[in-house]
């Protein structure tokens, strides 16, 4: 199995915060602000998207490690942008730097590790 991946590739994703992404909705807090779990999901999605088109058909990545800081609150209706950069490839393990900004500045940063898997083999192991 070969991967057409190169360190340094990146992906940017942008969303607008709605009530769906709030801490109240996620159950992670009591305030109507962008939830940390929603930010982590955006980080994972950006990392997944960064490498997805470079994998052979039938392969994907799964998240295996997240280490992030949510450093600033973001209100509903503000845009949030995440950039994931592939910083290291170690066999099937892919290491990413992730950063998130809202319209006023940086709100989160950290690292994320994903692992390349065969869709079919992965799902068969769950049976």
Residue 49's beta-bridge partner residues?
none
Residues 6+ apart with CB under 8 A from 41: none
Q: Which residue has the tokens 């280490």?
A: 67
C-alpha span between 97 and 106 (Å, rounded): 14
Query: Which pLDDT score is estimated for 3?
Result: 75
Token pair listed for 55: 């994998």
Are 72 and 44 in contact by the 8 Å Cβ rule? The answer is no
pTM for the complete prediction?
0.95
The whole-angstrom separation of Cα 33 and Cα 27 is: 12
- Tokens for 28? 């992670």
pLDDT value of residue 2:
62
Question: How distant, in Å, are the alpha carbons of 73, 106, 110, 126 from that of 69?
Answer: 12, 11, 6, 32
pLDDT at 1 over 80: no
Chain segment 40-97, per-residue pLDDT in tens: 999 999 999 999 989 999 999 999 999 999 999 999 999 999 999 999 999 999 999 9
Q: Which residues contact 7 (CB under 8 A, 6 or more apart)?
A: 86, 87, 88, 89
Phi, psi of 27 (to 5 degrees): 80, 15
Element (H, E) at 98: strand 93-102
């Amino acid at each position: 199995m070969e991967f057409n991946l190169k360190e340094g590739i990146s992906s940017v994703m942008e969303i607008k915060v709605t009530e769906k992404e709030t801490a109240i909705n996620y159950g992670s807090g009591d305030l109507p602000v962008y939830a940390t779990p929603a930010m982590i999901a955006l980080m994972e999605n950006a990392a997944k998207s960064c490498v997805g088109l470079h994998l052979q058909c039938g392969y994907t990545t799964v998240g295996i490690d997240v280490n992030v800081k949510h450093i600033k609150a973001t209100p509903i209706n503000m845009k949030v942008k995440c950039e994931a950069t592939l910083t290291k490839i170690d066999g099937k393990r892919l290491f990413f730097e992730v950063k998130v900004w809202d319209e006023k500045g940086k709100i989160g940063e950290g690292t994320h590790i994903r692992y390349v898997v065969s869709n079919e083999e992965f799902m068969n192991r769950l049976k």
